[in-house]
Amino acid sequence: MSAKRKPRPFSRVALIGIGLIGSSIARGIKKHKLSHEVAISTRRRTTLNTARKLGLGSSYHLKAAQAVKNADLVILCAPLGANKALAQEIAPHLKPGAIVSDVGSCKESVIKDVGPHLPEGVHLVPAHPIAGTEHSGPEAGFAALFEDRWCVLTPADGIDAKAVKAVEGFWRKLGSRVEIMDAAHHDQVLAITSHLPHLISYTIVDTATDLERDLQKEVVRYSAGGFREFTRIAASDPTMWRDVFLSNRDAVLEILGRFTEDLTALQRAIRRGDGELLHDRFTRTRAIRREVIDAKQAGTEPWRNRR
């Protein structure tokens, strides 16, 4: 490092995967001057060229092993299903004391897939920025994505406290609020707040596409009546979401069981004409919306509506 360089929290950050999340992190690092170097790696040359054209990093690599050399922070930003192979590939090339983190939407699977491959003296601090859009790829990212959003860290017991602090500081500088949580608890919470809503959206849109052609046209024409938001969520990346459901199977199946019971209760109320039960349920849920808005998690900021 040159003697004249002003200190930054990291000297080299390696981003493995440069889609929506990786490229938003790259932009945030640049904006907030969080690292001297940003090494970018992705498996396809076309994606790497796009990242280069966008000027997202300081070096570009088709091999993750090259990107992580001398990195003090490595962040895995590929779909969850790629983590195990990536961990095996980078492990021999990590410098002692390096921090390995990630952005995956499930956390127990990251600890299971990545942890066992890391050498002694390398610290695993898994992270999940609870922020995103339905868009994918390096062009979809923007630095403000993480502002006022939660980022959950799930370090296992005994992980170096300094490493956890460094990752916490990194996300705070990107504008996030940070919470430290047990990985299994994270997966249960996200099963209900994120994974189940995605599954329901995929199902509703799929059911609609099964309707005959004329009706489908009507569905699109009148989609503002609630369906539109489901189509937005159901446009989310299929690879990412396949991996989420395969990685968080137990928690999703548990919550799906409860949901099915509640849905059946509403179905029965409709069949029996039990308006009181319907009204009670809908009154209760209305209050939850108020809480989400008060917690500034409703996505009503102008920039969030631009895509």
Pick from 103, 166, 191, 208 the residue near ligand NAP by CB under 6 A.
103
Residue 44 CB, nearest approach to ligand NAP (Å):
3
We find the least distance from the C-beta atom of residue 49 to ligand NAP, in angstroms, to be: 10
The answer to whether 100 and 78 have CB atoms below 8 angstroms apart is no
Residues 238-257 that bind ligand NAP (CB under 6 A): 240, 244
The number of helix segments (H) and strand segments (E) in the chain equals 13, 9
To the nearest whole angstrom, how small is the minimum distance from the Cβ of residue 222 to ligand NAP? 27
Residue 179 bridge partners (DSSP): 152
**Interface segment toward ligand NAP; rule CB under 6 A; list 15-23, 156-164, 221-229, 266-274:** 15-23
Q: Which of 81, 82, 119, 85 lies closest to 100 in space, CA to CA? A: 119
Nearer to ligand NAP, 97 or 299 (CB): 299
Judged by beta carbon, residue 92 or residue 121, the one nearer ligand NAP is 92
Closer of 44 and 272 to ligand NAP (Cβ): 44
Residue 183 interacts with ligand NAP (CB under 6 A): yes or no = no
Q: What does the buried/exposed string (b/e) look like for 99-109 if buried means 16 or more CB atoms within 10 Å of the residue's CB?
A: bbbbbbbbbbb
Contact between 201 and ligand NAP per CB under 6 A? no
Q: Which is nearer to ligand NAP, 118 or 277 (CB)?
A: 118
And the tokens for 79? 């779909």
Rounded CA-CA distance 130/238 in Å is 18
Please report whether residue 84 would count as binding ligand NAP according to CB under 6 A: no
Residue 85: other Cβ atoms inside 10 A: 13
Q: Strand, coil or helix: what is 124?
A: strand
Output the six-digit token pair for 80. Answer: 């969850």
CA pair distance 131, 149, nearest whole angstrom: 6
Bridge partners of 223, per DSSP, are none
Stretch that binds ligand NAP, among 38-46, 115-123, 211-219, 283-291 (CB under 6 A): 38-46
Q: Assign 42 to helix, strand or coil.
A: coil
Contact flag: residue 43 with ligand NAP (CB under 6 A): yes
Ramachandran quadrant class, 122 (left: phi over 0; alpha: psi -120 to 50; beta: rest): beta
Among residues 58 and 133, whose Cβ is nearest to ligand NAP?
Answer: 133
What is the footprint of ligand NAP within residues 123-142 (CB under 6 A)?
129, 132, 136-137
CB of 3 to ligand NAP, least distance (A): 35
The SS3 assignment for 34 reads coil
17 binds ligand NAP (CB under 6 A): yes
Nearer to ligand NAP, 13 or 20 (CB): 20
Report, in Å, the least distance between residue 16 CB and ligand NAP: 7
Binder of ligand NAP out of 13, 14, 18, 151 (CB under 6 A) = 18
Instruction: Give the residue, chosen from 10, 12, 13, 19, that forms a contact with ligand NAP under the rule CB under 6 A.
Output: 19
Identify the H or E element spanning 20.
helix 20-32
CA 125, CA 132: separation in Å to the nearest integer?
A: 20
Q: What are phi and psi of 6, to 5 degrees?
A: -70, 140
The size of the interface with ligand NAP (CB under 6 A), counted in residues, is 25
Which spans of this chain sit near ligand NAP (rule: CB under 6 A)? 17-22, 42-44, 47, 77-80, 82, 103-105, 129, 132, 136-137, 237, 240, 244
